[in-house]
Structure 1
Amino acid sequence: MSGVREPAGAYDPVDALLQRAHRLGADPRNTNYAGGNASAKGTATDPVTGGDVELMWVKGSGGDLGTLTAAGLAVLRLDRLRALAGTYPGVDREDEMVAAFDHCLHGKGWLPGGEGTAPSIDTAMHGLVGAPHVDHLHPDSGIALACAADGEELTRRCFGERVVWVPWRRPGFQLGLDIAAVYEAHPGAIGVVLGGHGITAWGKDSAECERNSLEIIRTAERFLAEQGRPDPFGPLVEGYGPLPAPERRERAAALAPVIRGLASADRPQVGHFTDADAVLDFLAREAHPRLAALGTSCPDHFLRTKVRPLVLDLPPDAPLDEAVARLRELHAAYREDYRAYYERHADAGSPPMRGADPAIVLVPGVGMFSFGKDKQTARVAGEFYVNAVNVMRGAEAVSSYAPIPEAEKFRIEYWELEEAKLRRMPPPKPLATRVALVTGAGSGIGRAIARRLVAEGACVVVADRDADAAEAVAAGLGGPDRALAAVVDVTDEEQIAAAFRAAVRAFGGVDLVVNNAGISVSKPLAETTAADWDTQHAIMARGSFLVSREAARVLAAQGMGGDIVYIASKNGVFAGPNNIAYGAAKADQAHQVRLLAAELGGLGVRVNGVNPDGVVRGSGIFAGGWGAQRAAVYGVPEEKLGEFYAQRTLLKREVLPEHVANAVFALTAGELSHTTGLHIPVDAGVAAAFLR
């Protein structure tokens, strides 16, 4: 696969590297998501000279060991990479070496027609060490020793001469030289513990490298378990234990939109909530305020969690309004402290401050709220803070937790190389950071709307009374980091409230609500029963009201504005035959748009509507009998109903679910930021339904 030339019967070092990376990356005890890297060295044929060339394949910038593919490897010539040691200008200019790595790349990439990927800052660590295979990992157990106050002595006690201590140094070329020197000076060593950071291991082949990595990790785990104190975080604090699970989830749902609004003061964020046992136990213990204030240490940790979390200093049974008020006070103080941190360490060459809001908010007895530019980033930030808690536990068990100094954290957080990485990222999609809830999203128009919103960057709650349909749509949208299924009968107030609670726990809040759920009854007035009327209005008029009311509560708590969109109908203004219940319910929805636009404008919430003509193809309503009823009214075969509707329009075009989804996107993507109380016709031109 790799094109590496090996003796007959020999294994391919690249295949072995990928398999090793997958095994190591699949176990969170070994390394965190996207943390660490692995490499292999070997001989290949130079396509220019036809001779042999020594290469190194190493996980490139970004990516994850557990899911690493060949395309995620950077490929470099070892002769050129090692020659850089002779031109190295010293630690004060080591960042210049990253650009030099580009001159060591083996063509555009080692895959046929491929581009490979950019070398990471850790490339020197792998290339300068003489071993054929190298792993650099961030296991909780290894970082616990690395972040202990007497980590060097603990490393000696734990490993003897097999693992060597390397004092903290920011990742870069000099750290690669340091580790290479250890490799040469200690031929019996299998790796190193990097102060404040993680571990590096090596081997003569991939199997030995993996064994050595696991030996370091598991030996550290046993050492911490056997030598550590039983309660490293101190005694339980009375009143700070976890709330019972139902109360805890209710409290989380009540706090989530408030906290998300605070965490989005500088820029909108998506949230994630966890009440993992490790978090709840940490927050119930005496030491948690002191340890949380110290912040995280491993660069991978604090780049995602920020320098320290915001911690609510109230017991979980404090009144909700008191907790909210205190969170607002703590948030204001956090922003002041973060700005002071920036100003203490920034110089003329530092990138501008990126934002002063917390990425991690800890609430005793309830859990942890984490935030990021999308759901995955928010979730991974939370996972990294759980790693940090595990690190603190291990360090405190055998010593005391001593993360790298604040100034060093700043040097990494505001590293120009990190800034350059951010600049290389593609621009966000129009609906990035927005969370949508769409009713009736298990089929037809609602499904098309959900698909379009996710495609444009939103997270979506697929709400439908059909659980299987909702689950299928959510799964098709990319799974839990993109979509959540919720069973919602819009006539049931508790189901609606439960869906919003699930939404805010999953994504932090809700920004965009689409009232799409509906049914239709087509009967003459004399044949329309009171039950028909009540059912039609209960689902569309009353149901939309109930959903909008719950949405308004969340939107008000967030304080971030938002959108409510009603999928109304041309029938709300067009008087057709045999349509009294449906048309009247749609007219009710149409006026709800105007009423709510007037009421919610002060919150920055825009309320608009979409008036489609009959959407036949792909519609759950038409497939459920409405199509046959309307076809009978107009005297056309049911299979020709879409064509019939198209021919009566000015444009002679059939309206499809995707056309309605396009209108929802246009209303909510930002270009119509000053539009509210509007109904957009999506009917291909029905003159009788022109708005007046």
Structure 2
Amino acid sequence: MNTSTTKKYFRQVESKWDDQEAKGKDPLASLVYRSNLLGSDSYINNTGGGNTSSKVMEKDPISGEEAEVLWVKGSGGDLRTATKPNFASLYQQKLLKLQDIYHGMENTGLKTPAEDSMTEMYAHCTYNLNPRAPSIDTPLHSFIPYKFVDHTHPVPVIAIATADNGPELMREVYGDEVEWVDWMRPGFELGLKLQEVIEKNPDIRGIILGGHGLINWADDEKECYETSIELINKAAAYLNEHERGEESFGGSRYDAVEEEQRRDMLAEVLPFLRGQVSQENQFIGTVQDDDVTLQFINAEDAPRLAELGTSCPDHFLRTKIKPLYVDWNPQQESIDELKSAIRSGLEQYRKDYAAYYNDHRDEDSPDMRDPNPTVILIPGLGMVAWGKNKSESRVTAEFYTAAIGVMRGAESVANYTALPKQEAYDIEYWALEEAKLQRMPPESELSRQVIAVVGAGSGIGKALVRRLIEEGGTVAALDLDSEAAEATAREVLDDIGMGIGVAGSDISGSGDVIGLGCDITDRDSVQEALQQVIIAYGGVDNVAVTAGLYPTPDEEGHVDDAAWDRAFAVNVKGNYIVADEVGSVWDAQNLKGSMVITTSANAVVAKAGSLAYDTSKSAANHLIRELAIELAPRVRVNGVAPATVVEGSSMFPRERVIASLTKYEIDFDREESTADLREKLADFYASRTLTKQPITLDQQTEAIYSLLSSRYENTTGHVLPVDGGLRDAFLR
């Protein structure tokens, strides 16, 4: 294994502060700028974690007098992407007065209820009716007597914060400029503790939060940001002096499987694994098999460290109390033995999680959540992270990557320690965390679903990709023209501002849609495309085939034998190859699935001039019925039969449109745009229907989406016409 990237892991980070860019910003815009800088690097701060604040003098909207206002990142925000609406605003003096209320409740001996009740009091401190809910870390920022505060989760600092001799290490790294606070749950009590420590040590610049992270401050905003950078770099420099390189985590126990073979093995095992972890809630996966991750998973100490779990609260809320380390030898055992190890490992993991829940719950605890792991470590192959969508699984992978770095640092200088199980449980099942989960909007119709759209480069397929993404789907856009497929993915992702969408060396890091080349007449091509989809997302749930071929007749209305063969290869056999190859994925997952094949009204309307196309589509109709029987009961197979859809169709290039207009004796000017010519042809086709309306892409995509979704969960083996009412196509 190439271990060059596993040496000198703890890097220095550069200040990205730009005086020119920062100049002239209002206080809130400046806070956003500082926050985005800190959030732009997951080595400094994980997605959704950490928070920043500024204390600013604002005009009270009622009295008109100046009042000190705390602007702080609100609940659920992300520093990297935060904008002004992501920040809560509270009257600073009102927040300070809450201390009297808290101490009064604390004296009753009911500390946890007192702590939780304070979050309800923040609403009474809101400045200017700001609807953004404050985070539970608000007191940390309010009670620190400085204008600007940064709270981050830097990997090298958390490494020191989780070491069993953390306070001693802190002194070696920082001397007297930083203090230590033992682990405390984020909230009001921790804010009071920080206030106390600063009062006793007025010259310090920051505090390490045991097991948690870093908090620092200044009365100048740039100074606050650069203090964060400086303190992170001091920790990184210290850890690099003690870095063990290839001997980290006790040295190597297993070798990584070579990359090409590794990807083949992952493609074989991932659908099985996805089915196993999706027995309660379906998941989308992210594979991570870089050198650093593999070095940890393959190491002697990996089983021990994996069992300890993570420490930083933000980490284990995503990664659960611990990952599943699969007991499998990649050099000596087979894929079948790996599957057996996964099955037994998951069974034990669920038992362990239930015991963890039952041992630490109380009478007010929420019901036990899904007991399946969200992080699975497979020696030789890599880490697989799971989430309700691709974005969430990527973040889960990001968090455990940070945890690996934390363990690497802590174990280089001491012994890594995780949170006590009761503390971990109290965070995971905290009433405030449960309330946040309950406030989340319902999941979208196609959330947790991976859908392959074949023919996504243009026409119905391209429009369908966007429709499925809007409904929460995770989509693989496949097309014979790989550049067109990639363009579809890129356009959709640019519009919604998400991820990356084209094939590359790190396809597992793809966004919610990915574009790939695929020739459905070539089984090898289909297998290769599906392997990439599986590596990207963990499996496939639904398939929509919109690809089709219309062989253009010659001047006498005939097509040659090769064109006949090509029409049946694309319109019939290609659909079968896709179904056959995805069938093995469906079998391995053992999850429900759906397939929709686009046929045509021509399949049942006999007419002159398109024999090869019409008969191939008629065969496709019957293929749907055969596949519905073949794949039942787990997978439904249906079809959509549009009348001619001219809009956006690759089967209607300008030459064919002109030929059709000429054939039907429709007046046109050859100087007209292709779009105008297509509209004339669409209007002509519409005139032959009962509704007299052109058949649109949106109508087709709505039909396909409905058949893929649960709306038709008891419909299979049928072809839904979307043809405007063609009497010759009526069922008979």
TM bucket (normalised to shorter chain) is: over 0.9
* Distance of aligned partners of 1:550 and 1:11 in 2 relative to their CA distance in 1, 3 Å threshold: closer
1:232 maps to what in 2?
Answer: 248
1:650 maps to what in 2?
Answer: 690
Find out whether 1:594 has 2:625 as its counterpart: yes
Q: Does the CA contact (< 8 Å) of 2:42 and 2:398 recur in 1?
A: no
1:345 maps to what in 2?
Answer: 360
2:416 maps to what in 1?
Answer: 401
- What per-residue deviation string (whole Å, max 9, x for no partner) do you get for residues 242-300 of structure 1? 11111111111112111111221111111111112221000111000000011111000
> What code does the residue aligned with 1:344 have?
D
SS of alignment partner, residue 83 of structure 1: helix
> What code does the residue aligned with 2:385 have?
S
CA apart distance, 1:681? 0.4
Find out whether 1:376 has 2:391 as its counterpart: yes
> Which residues in structure 2 correspond to 1:328-343 (within 5 Å)?
328-343=343-358
1:456 maps to what in 2?
Answer: 471
Q: Does the CA contact (< 8 Å) of 1:270 and 1:507 recur in 2?
A: yes
2:459 maps to what in 1?
Answer: 444
> Which residues in structure 2 correspond to 1:229-268 (within 5 Å)?
229-230=244-245, 231-237=247-253, 240-268=254-282
| Distance of 2:642 and 2:24 partners within structure 1 | 65
* Distance of aligned partners of 1:626 and 1:575 in 2 relative to their CA distance in 1, 3 Å threshold: farther
- What per-residue deviation string (whole Å, max 9, x for no partner) do you get for residues 314-353 of structure 1? 1224311221122112112211211111111111100111
| Distance of 1:103 and 1:150 partners within structure 2 | 41
> Which residues in structure 2 correspond to 1:168-187 (within 5 Å)?
168-187=183-202
2:401 maps to what in 1?
Answer: 386
1:95 maps to what in 2?
Answer: 116
> Which residues in structure 2 correspond to 1:511-522 (within 5 Å)?
511-522=541-552
Q: Does the CA contact (< 8 Å) of 2:43 and 2:402 recur in 1?
A: no
CA apart distance, 1:624? 6.2
* Distance of aligned partners of 1:132 and 1:353 in 2 relative to their CA distance in 1, 3 Å threshold: same
> What code does the residue aligned with 2:223 have?
E
1:669 maps to what in 2?
Answer: 709
| Distance of 2:195 and 2:664 partners within structure 1 | 83
CA apart distance, 1:107? 2.2
Q: Does the CA contact (< 8 Å) of 1:619 and 1:657 recur in 2?
A: no
Deviates more, 1:16-25 or 1:676-685: 16-25
- What per-residue deviation string (whole Å, max 9, x for no partner) do you get for residues 190-214 of structure 1? 1111111111111111122112212
Find out whether 1:580 has 2:595 as its counterpart: no
SS of alignment partner, residue 65 of structure 1: coil
| Distance of 2:162 and 2:24 partners within structure 1 | 40
> Which residues in structure 2 correspond to 1:564-643 (within 5 Å)?
564-602=595-633, 604-623=634-653, 625-636=655-666, 639=678, 640-643=680-683
2:9 maps to what in 1?
Answer: none
CA apart distance, 1:559? 1.1
| Distance of 2:531 and 2:522 partners within structure 1 | 14
Q: Does the CA contact (< 8 Å) of 1:522 and 1:582 recur in 2?
A: no
SS of alignment partner, residue 66 of structure 1: coil
CA apart distance, 1:54? 0.5
Q: Does the CA contact (< 8 Å) of 1:30 and 1:139 recur in 2?
A: yes
Q: Does the CA contact (< 8 Å) of 1:621 and 1:627 recur in 2?
A: no
What TM-score do the two structures reach when normalised by structure 1?
0.95
- What per-residue deviation string (whole Å, max 9, x for no partner) do you get for residues 531-574 of structure 1? 11011111111111111111111111111111111001111111
CA apart distance, 1:468? 2.2
> What code does the residue aligned with 2:553 have?
K
CA apart distance, 1:526? 7.4
2:338 maps to what in 1?
Answer: 323
SS of alignment partner, residue 470 of structure 1: helix
| Distance of 1:43 and 1:630 partners within structure 2 | 71
- Tell me how many residue pairs correspond in the alignment: 675
| Distance of 1:322 and 1:630 partners within structure 2 | 60
RMSD: 1.6
What TM-score do the two structures reach when normalised by structure 2?
0.90
Q: Which runs of 5+ in 1 are unaligned?
A: 1-8, 110-114
SS of alignment partner, residue 233 of structure 1: helix
SS of alignment partner, residue 124 of structure 2: helix
| Distance of 1:465 and 1:10 partners within structure 2 | 51
Q: Does the CA contact (< 8 Å) of 2:71 and 2:90 recur in 1?
A: yes
SS of alignment partner, residue 639 of structure 2: strand
SS of alignment partner, residue 76 of structure 2: coil
CA apart distance, 1:623? 2.0
| Distance of 2:220 and 2:188 partners within structure 1 | 24
| Distance of 1:160 and 1:381 partners within structure 2 | 34
Q: Which runs of 5+ in 2 are unaligned?
A: 1-22, 494-498, 501-510, 668-676
Identity %: 41
* Match for residue 467 of structure 1 among 462, 482, 488: 482
| Distance of 1:80 and 1:229 partners within structure 2 | 50
1:688 maps to what in 2?
Answer: 728
* Distance of aligned partners of 1:574 and 1:11 in 2 relative to their CA distance in 1, 3 Å threshold: closer
1:105 maps to what in 2?
Answer: 126
Q: Does the CA contact (< 8 Å) of 1:622 and 1:628 recur in 2?
A: no
2:370 maps to what in 1?
Answer: 355
* Distance of aligned partners of 1:586 and 1:628 in 2 relative to their CA distance in 1, 3 Å threshold: farther
| Distance of 1:580 and 1:163 partners within structure 2 | 81
> What code does the residue aligned with 1:320 have?
I
Q: Does the CA contact (< 8 Å) of 1:521 and 1:626 recur in 2?
A: no
1:301 maps to what in 2?
Answer: 315
1:499 maps to what in 2?
Answer: 529
2:146 maps to what in 1?
Answer: 131
1:4 maps to what in 2?
Answer: none
| Distance of 1:505 and 1:279 partners within structure 2 | 16
Q: Does the CA contact (< 8 Å) of 2:483 and 2:517 recur in 1?
A: no
* Match for residue 121 of structure 1 among 109, 123, 136: 136
| Distance of 1:322 and 1:226 partners within structure 2 | 41
| Distance of 1:356 and 1:128 partners within structure 2 | 38
| Distance of 2:256 and 2:655 partners within structure 1 | 51
Find out whether 1:535 has 2:566 as its counterpart: yes
SS of alignment partner, residue 570 of structure 2: helix
> What code does the residue aligned with 1:276 have?
D
* Match for residue 35 of structure 2 among 21, 32, 38: 21
CA apart distance, 1:81? 0.4
> What code does the residue aligned with 2:321 have?
V
Q: Does the CA contact (< 8 Å) of 1:520 and 1:626 recur in 2?
A: no
